[in-house]
Structure 1
Amino acid sequence: MMKRRNTRHRAFDPDPDAPQRCCDMPDCEKPAGYRAPRSRETLNQYYWFCLEHVREYNARWDYYKGMSPGQIEAHLRADIAWDRPSWAFGQSAKPRKQTFDEEDVLDPLDILGQNRRSRAERAKSRAQPAAPEALREPLATLGLPWPVTLEDAKARYRSLARKHHPDANNGDRRSEERLKSINVAFTVVRAHLTSQGLEKAG
């Protein structure tokens, strides 16, 4: 049975990203396998030492060297908040809005957008008069909104008749049946608009 090879680094193993060079400590010719920050202001820039000298460097390292007690306290407070400004509980950096604004909410699935659209559609439907009961099915068949003018109904009828005429669909029976229902629906709508004097109603 093969033993599983342990790929974890031990605590004092050299850094696998260490450059192939000698220790940065003067007069040291040992391989540089351990990094240490150059200063408090340049934490992403490093010295590269051997194990012995990195231990010496770390023992002498004082991050707060040269800072006054007040500066140290301010630095610690900034670290607690990840160097971001903070305010007392219940306060904010900008005046608090009295009403909820959906635009301030992250909405990657566009859930709020769908809600806004549905509310707009409901408001629009409330603003428009409802179609007479006898016209609802014919209007749905023609795909027309209400109110509608006779000119619009005629234009829609001609478009649907050309699309579903059997001659344009290789004599398909389904197209023929669809055209019959379109003819009946248009006849009902035309008769209603003519009788009510709504030929040019908007």
Structure 2
Amino acid sequence: MAREKISKDRPNARFHGRVEANGRPCEVPGCAEAGEFRAPPVEGAPQGGERPNAYRWFCLEHIRAFNAGYNYFAGMTAEEITDAQRPYAGWDRETRAFARAGVDPGPAWADFADPLDAIGAKFRDARVNRAERRDGRSLSPADRSALKVMGLDIDVDRTGLRQRYSELVRRYHPDRNGGDRQHEAALQKVIAAYQQLKGAVAFA
């Protein structure tokens, strides 16, 4: 019976915004209920410097009355009300850019020491992996990996690709190394990378 009385007399946690009063009364004169729901301070009320605004506290009945009487458009002109009611209101405001040219700016290197270049190297690798070609042609992850194998920049053209391929084949081919086959694995990687890039969209 006592539990039923409490549930009827006091709102429970299902009411959004309820805060345990701990003896705080409702601020409506003559109301003996607990002040468990907060409302903004009276407009123009002095505030305590850097301290947060002092809320007003009401019981459930009086916070409902407060909310029912709240008018967001109070004090606005007809033009301001129309502007606020547009379906896309707020979307035309400029927002902070989170990246530049698709790549986030790097950290401020002057703020800390990186003697092993561990952070710097990781950032540069990420930047290369996300950078785009100046001509707008797309590169797949496999294309980017192949460019690394051949030691080429992402903006290299088809002529530069062929020239680099010829250079690396001459460098690693056993016939150019007195029959020494120690560079054969590197040569196979170069050949595979060239085949990948030769058929890529960026070099079509």
Q: Same fold (TM over 0.5)?
A: no
Structure showing greater Rg: 1
Name the TM-score, length of structure 1 as normaliser: 0.40
